Structure 1
């Protein structure tokens, strides 16, 4: 894994996130996105949430990544079976969370989360970066059947870049 490249990508998204928040008018934030049922503000929260999820996903990885492959595969299948409830929660969460946090706090939380991910990534041993487990591939197009710790650190940036194209800020 190229840690430096991962750090640079996280910093690029942090800068982009702040630019989006700073440049968006209130009307921009309320505008619908392209290809989702969210407003720009709600999608911005969802993009932030992709980074917030990494810490709990790393905990799951450390548990299930050390189990026999069959245990992790069964867990991933169980999660895939729960895709519909996951999709509902995934959709509803940003509806209120974006309003509760607001523009300024979303930026502050994004900074804090990125700083924490930088520290954690720097503390990872090479062997830990290779630890892998099965993932629920129906939950997200960027989840693969087997993902490593290194993959998890790269995941939220891919998620961010995908959703960035759906924003209609400034249009």
Structure 2
């Protein structure tokens, strides 16, 4: 920064020297001391490469920062794409798991309904068989009572009737 200020100061001094130089009559030219002018130009020339080098450093640093920014941006974009892919995969896995869970629940409900139907059929069949057995037992008891009443009324012996069925037990 100091070199820039010095360079600007030298340019201002040179401009002032040109303005104060003696004019050449009948022209827009002026007369200046050659040594002073060359010395001032040499000083500016020496200061210019330093400033150019500093400017080049700034440009190089800017390019480095821009390149680092691009690299970081590409990394962030790649991470975002990877995260999107991971989330998409997780979403697909979640959907597949939910579908499989729904299928398993539906299958379990169907199996439970089938078992309920089988149990109801078994119970109904068992109750029907029990009802028939009880019906035959009641018929046998009724027949036994009727015979007993008939025997008591005749004062005779007990003889089995040919239409009687033997008990199943």
Structure showing the higher helix proportion among its residues = 2
TM-score (norm 2): 0.25
What TM-score, normalized by structure 1, do the two folds share?
Answer: 0.24
Larger RCO, structure (CA 8 Å, separation 6 or more): 1
Choose 1 or 2 for highest CA Rg.
Answer: 2
